[in-house]
Amino acid sequence: MKNLDIFDSNELKIFNASDLLSLQCRSTSKGNQMKWYDSKNDIYIKAQFYFQDKFWRDDLVECVAAQLGKQFCLTDKRVQILEQSPCKIDLGYNTIYGVYSKNFCTQGEVFVPFSRILSAKKIQFPYSGSIETKWIFALDTLNNLTKSDCSDYLLVMSLLDFLVGNEDRHLSNFGIIYCDGKFRISPLFDFGLGLFEHDRKYENLPLKQCISKMECKPFARHNEDLIAFISDKYDIQKYLPEKFDLTGIELPSLKASSYILNRAKILNVEVIGV
């Protein structure tokens, strides 16, 4: 398994888009996100989320999530969180922010998203079911493929999504890695559409109203309901540190800082450096 925490330079790296392989641009009702692959260094680069005529700072959200993830208690857990590092991308006509990360698949390995697993098995996710029904469905599906208990994986994903308010945990950004007939759980990634950095509906609103407008995927409509469910079912404190230290980490807004403090308090974790 690759070491995902490989970038130890504090300098902001600059990528020239003309030197990179452009990947399919995600263009949907949720906006555009340019992505590239650096074949020389086996690195993936993701630009700022563009939506509603604005470049959002989801790149900062990714870095915050990676920093929080480093501080989870995962020494004895089969969970990895992809290291995301900040960068700039020179488009030739403009320079924008982004994040980059090392390819987490080794030669011969393929990432298989949860959505593709369901498609291959010709089964559907129980969207209309209860939180418990959806949770058990996802857990059983992953357990059966990997031949191991994937509770840690779903729990850490849900806790970190909660802390950064990730509203885009769809069925294609978590899953497994396949190689030679064997499956293992993939690292966790794609936390950027959180901390209100993806939609103008949150602008000029107080935190409480913003939280009421937030969405949660795929297990619950509201992330507090999901946390209540897993708190009742599992000992979530064993995954969490006594405190998170975000000293020196850039946050996209004061509202984002307030949100993290609010969510961490619900989890009984102190936050310093905010």
Averaged in consecutive runs of 10 residues, what is the pLDDT profile of the chain (274 residues)?
A: 43 94 66 90 96 96 98 95 97 97 96 97 97 98 95 99 97 96 95 96 98 96 98 98 98 98 98 97
Residue 46, in any domain of the structure: yes
According to DSSP H, which parts of the chain are helical? 58-70, 114-121, 131-146, 151-164, 207-213, 223-233, 254-266
Note whether 87 and 222 are same-domain residues.
no
DSSP 218-263: SS-SSHHHHHHHHHHHS-GGGGS-SEEE-TT---S-HHHHHHHHHH
Distance CA 133, CA 209 (A): 29
Note whether 94 and 197 are same-domain residues.
no
CATH code of residue 67? 3.30.200
pLDDT of residue 5: 42
DSSP 5-20: ------S-EEEEGGGS
Whether the pTM exceeds 0.85: the reply is yes
> Final residue of a domain: which of 58, 85, 102?
102
Distance CA 265, CA 274 (A): 13
CATH code of residue 252? 1.10.1070
Note whether 150 and 86 are same-domain residues.
no
Per the structure, the count of domains in the chain is 2
Q: Which domain holds residue 17?
A: 13-102
pLDDT of residue 32: 79
Note whether 156 and 268 are same-domain residues.
yes
Note whether 47 and 152 are same-domain residues.
no
Note whether 96 and 120 are same-domain residues.
no
Note whether 134 and 242 are same-domain residues.
yes
In sequence order, what are the beta bridge partners of 110? Answer: 178
Note whether 142 and 224 are same-domain residues.
yes
CA 88 distance to own-chain centroid: 20
Note whether 254 and 180 are same-domain residues.
yes
Please tell me whether the peptide bond between 113 and the residue prior to it is cis, using omega within 30 degrees of 0.
Answer: no
